[in-house]
Amino acid sequence: SVAERKKQLGDEYEPTVSVSTKRLNVKIEIRVKDNGPGISLKVVDKIFQPFFTTKPTGQGTGLGLSLSYDIVKAHGGEIKVESKDGAGSELLIELPFKT
C-alpha cells in the first residue's frame, strides 16, 4: 500500500492514487492506479480470494478486494490487476453500460 511505502521511504516519497473512467461503447472502464510497492508476482493470483492478506495479523481482514470482486461480478463486470513488484499497481474494472 502507499501508506506502507511512505513509512519506508519517508519524505522522499509522495504517495499517489489516481482514478480514471472511460466509456467504451457498451462498457464503462474504471482504473485505479497507485505508486505503492506493487504486488508480488507470488501473490497476485490470490488477491481476490476471501481472507487473503499480506498484512500482519490484526491489520487487515483480506476482504476488501474479495468483496470488490464479488460486487463487480454481480453486475456482470470484470476486475483485473496489473502490477509490477516495486512499481505500483493498477486495478482495471469493466462494467456493462446500460442505457
Q: What is the pLDDT of residues 38-88, one digit of tens each?
A: 888 888 889 888 887 777 777 777 778 889 999 999 999 999 999 987 889
64: domain range?
2-96
The residue behind cell 492478506 is: 53
pLDDT at 93: 98
**pLDDT at 23 exceeding the cut of 90:** yes
For the CA atoms of 78, 81, 82, 86, the dihedral, rounded to the nearest 10 degrees, stands at 170
pLDDT at 5: 76
pTM of the full structure: 0.81
The Cα-based distances of 24 to 5, 96, 97 in angstroms read: 34, 9, 9
| CATH label of the domain that carries residue 82 | 3.30.565.10
How many domains are there within the chain?
1
- Between 20 and 39, name the one with better pLDDT: 20
pLDDT at 22: 98
